[in-house]
Amino acid sequence: MTFKDLHIISMKSFSRDMIDHILDTAEKLEPIASSKSKSDLLKGKVLAVMFFEPSTRTRMSFETAMMRLGGDVLSLGSVDASSIAKGETLADTIRVVEGYSNAIVLRHNKEGAAQLASEFSSVPIINAGDGAGHHPTQTFLDLYTIRRESHLDGLKIALAGDLKYGRTVHSLCYALSLYGAEITLVSPKELRMPAEIIDDLKSHNIKVRETDSIEEAISDVDVLYATRIQKERFPDPAEYRKVANSLQITPELLEKAKPELKVMHPLPRTNEIDPRVDGTPHACYFRQSFYGVPVRMALLALVMGALK
């Protein structure tokens, strides 16, 4: 198994062995991520960070990961000010930037952009989100969080919120199917998980059930993964409020849960999680966001060949 020069485009190209190796590596690097020790593992290496649409957290998480490993970061400035605004193709931009760097992190508004970039780049491309497409590093950090805070084998998980458009839950479901999880899907009928994804899960012998009641789902799961419900999905604001309130996670609701239940959320949240949950032992969304750093450190070190 070699990760050197591997493009990280979609979760679908990762086997369970590969995922386990990435998570193991992240665990080894976690003390460096939290600055308990220092590293110059990627000293002399340059990471190009190209974000064609803003996502401050993902960008900062990659930049932190690179810096904690002693590497340098080269940022594409704001898109308006660059040649992209002058009509340069992504293919050309990539062919220029690969000459400056040892790996490229790409976020783009068009689906398939990372795949295209990988066809023009001799240095590894890491997809940090392409339109409504993939965002594999988010899935790796979600899996890492589940492994650190709960357990991946024999996991019972409820996914709640916008399951229709939420790309992160789609790839998370795919990855969990490699670990034989039992999945409960909680969503309003307007935002249900696409049927082809459910069929896919069932064909992997995954137990899937669907409900619109978070109360019903919460009592026997190990992890509750909440996602953001976007107002603009609802033509009627009253309908949005009804849905948003019915899926809100509160301390009262959590009284019905197992004591070891962990609540996850990719952040930013709107009102899916009552702030009073933050102080309970169930909350792990801020640690989840921190775990993005060791996970991205692991990916960078592996694709740049600094670790095997």
Partner 1 sequence: MEETPIPEIRVHPIRNGTVIDHITAGQALNVLNILNIPNPSSGVVSIIINAPSVHGIKDVVKIEGRELNVEEVDRISLIAPKATINIIRNFEVSGKTHVHIPEKVSGVVKCINPNCISNSNEPVTSRFTVKPDGRKITLRCSYCERTISEDIGNHLL
Interacting residue ranges for partner 1, rule: CB under 8 A: 10, 87, 89-91, 108-113, 115-116, 119, 130-133
Closest CB to partner 1 among 108 and 148? 108
Q: In the bound complex, what is the minimum distance in angstroms from residue 56's beta carbon to partner 1?
A: 22
Nearer to partner 1, 154 or 194 (CB): 194
Q: Rounded to the nearest whole angstrom, what is the least distance from the CB of residue 84 to partner 1 in the complex?
A: 12
Q: Which of 7, 45, 58, 108 is catalytic?
A: 58
CA angle 214, 215, 219 (to 5 degrees): 110
d(CA 26, CA 34): 12
Task: Pick between residue 196 and residue 236 the one whose CB is nearest to partner 1.
Answer: 196
Whole-number Å distance between alpha carbons of 231 and 236: 9
Catalytic residue among 57, 151, 207, 287: 57
Q: What are phi and psi of 34, to 5 degrees?
A: -95, 15
Q: How far apart are CA 239 and CA 102, in angstroms?
A: 48
Q: Taking the complex as a whole, how short is the minimal distance between the CB of residue 272 and partner 1, in angstroms?
A: 26
- Beta bridge pairs of residue 126: 8, 105
Q: Which of the residues 107, 228, 265, 282 is marked catalytic?
A: 107
The SS3 call for residue 224 is strand
Task: For residue 135, indicate whether it is catalytic.
Answer: yes
- Burial level of 78, CB count in 10 A (0-12/13-18/19+)? exposed
Of the residues 7, 45, 108, 135, which is catalytic? 135
227 catalytic residue (yes or no): no
Tell me whether residue 102 or residue 171 sits nearer to partner 1 (CB atom). Answer: 171
**Catalytic-residue membership of 107:** yes
- What span, in angstroms and rounded, lies between the C-alpha atoms of 93 and 160? 38
Catalytic status, residue 209: no
Kindly state the smallest distance separating residue 200's Cβ from partner 1, in Å.
Answer: 12
Query: How many angstroms separate the CA atoms of 55 and 57, rounded?
Result: 6
- Whether 204 is a known active-site residue: answer no
**Residues carrying an active site annotation:** 57-58, 86, 107, 135
